[in-house]
Amino acid sequence: MKILVTILSAIALYNGTCVGQAALNFPQDFESGDIQVVLKFFNSYLNEFKDTAQPDYKRYFTKQDCEKYKVPDFIVFGINATYPTYKMGKPTILYIRPENNMYHIKTFFGNPATNNISVLCVTDHYVKYQNDSSLRFVNSLDVNAATFKTQTVSNITYHYPAAHSFNIGRADDLITSVRKLEAQWKLPPHHIDYYFTDTDEELKKLRGFDYCLDISNKNKPMGIAASDSLIFCSGLGEDYFHEVVHAYLNSLFPNSPLKEGLAVLYGGSMGHDLYWHYVRLRTYLAQHPGISTDTLSYIDDETNPQSILKGIICANAFKKEGIAGLKKLMGYTNMEDILKSGYKTEPADWARIFQME
Ligand SMILES: [Zn+2]
């Protein structure tokens, strides 16, 4: 959450002005051969984010990638699930070089800070000439997961580094949880591509980040559901239920601010279940009285208080009225209404929300 605060201040400073012509890092040669053409293509792509939320990906990615992935660029929502990475920082291209029949573009995204430069991320893009001589990006999985192994268990196809030995026991545990979720919500199984690595850093590399500001010095489980049928996760091997819950339930409630709460209720957060975080949060609040629900955004890098708050609200609704209660709760579109309706208090205080035992 501390990271999110940093990101949000960067956005507040540079909103709408980050994207555009990328700076070129001295003293690289950007003049020779096809480099100028690749540079123009890349700048044109970044420019698309200037005035629109997302570009027409068909102009920049192959037809196959656009058919397979809703967003074929896994960097766009790699830092924030709803705000494009390219709007968050000023780009400087470090180099463009020919590599394996492609062009490799390495770019630094950052923002000026008071006495230094705040680094957002360093990205790797790959561009290739197509048969019709047009340029298109090569999606990062084709490059970075080329040596990955795959294994399908029920409706989940796992993709994992070749050095990993597949743990069928953990995969079976995940499938057991998934079957229970489907039964509770009366949902049919659907296919999910599940990419996983041991560390978050490896996972970021897979998506196209050479560096990203939320890579921690501790290796905590991290994940993201890119769509209903594609998830990325690290640190929990074959059993990262939290992201699978997102893949099943997010699209049922697109406007709910509690999608994270549902995933935390079923799948915990950063490797620990909701009750573990609940106890930590309760202890913290007992030691720091008077904090309102909307001002507490950071405790430490183990427990995200806002995610846990949302998980507790979902748990309370489930305890009271089961799945029907959760469905009703997920129909709200803002937290203010949720807190007012469920807890009859404004601002909502933690004591009323902490009914779960
Ligand atoms: Zn989540």
Ion ligand 1: residues, CB within 5 A, are 260, 263
| pLDDT score, position 53 | 78
The ranges assigned to domains in the chain are 2-138, 145-252, 253-357
pLDDT in tens, 241-278: 999 999 999 999 999 999 999 999 999 999 999 999 99
What confidence category does residue 10 fall into, taking pLDDT thresholds of 50, 70 and 90? very low
Between residues 152 and 24, the one the model is more confident about = 152
Q: Taking 80 as the threshold, does the pLDDT of residue 326 lie above it?
A: yes
What's the 245 CA to ligand 1 centre distance in angstroms? 8
The one-letter code for the residue type at 4 is L
CATH class of 2-138: alpha beta
What confidence category does residue 348 fall into, taking pLDDT thresholds of 50, 70 and 90? low
**CA dihedral of 172, 177, 180, 184, whole degrees rounded to 10:** -160
What's the 241 CA to ligand 1 centre distance in angstroms? 10
Per the document, the length of the chain is 357
| pLDDT score, position 312 | 93
Q: From 2.30.30, 3.30.2450, 3.30.2010, 1.10.3470, which CATH number describes the 145-252 domain?
A: 3.30.2010
What's the 38 CA to ligand 1 centre distance in angstroms? 36
What's the pTM value of the predicted model, to 2 decimals? 0.88
Q: Same CATH topology for 2-138 and 145-252? A: no
pLDDT in tens, 71-106: 999 999 998 888 999 999 999 999 999 999 999 999
d(CA 227, CA 248): 9
| pLDDT score, position 13 | 42
What's the 112 CA to ligand 1 centre distance in angstroms? 30
Q: Taking 60 as the threshold, does the pLDDT of residue 122 lie above it?
A: yes
What's the 274 CA to ligand 1 centre distance in angstroms? 12
Contact 235, 224 (CB under 8 A): no
DSSP string, 111-156: EE-SSSEEEEEEEEEEEEE-TTS-EEEEPHHHHHTTT-EEEEETTE
R_g of the chain, CA atoms, integer Å: 22
| pLDDT score, position 357 | 46
Mean pLDDT value of segment 191-216 = 94
What's the 53 CA to ligand 1 centre distance in angstroms? 22
What's the 95 CA to ligand 1 centre distance in angstroms? 34
- The overall average pLDDT reported for the chain is 89
pLDDT in tens, 284-311: 988 988 887 778 888 888 999 999 999 9
What's the 264 CA to ligand 1 centre distance in angstroms? 7
| pLDDT score, position 356 | 52
Least confident of 30-39, 101-110, 128-137, 148-157: 30-39
What's the 230 CA to ligand 1 centre distance in angstroms? 14
Contacting residues for 73 by C-beta, under 8 A, at least 6 apart: 57, 60, 61, 137, 139, 140, 208
What's the 236 CA to ligand 1 centre distance in angstroms? 14
What's the 269 CA to ligand 1 centre distance in angstroms? 7
| pLDDT score, position 350 | 65
pLDDT in tens, 33-47: 789 999 999 999 999
Between residues 315 and 26, the one the model is more confident about = 315
Within 143-260, strands assigned E span 149-153, 156-160, 192-197, 209-212, 222-227, 230-234
What's the 162 CA to ligand 1 centre distance in angstroms? 27
d(CA 112, CA 122): 15
**Cα–chain center distance at 80:** 6
Mean pLDDT value of segment 178-198 = 97
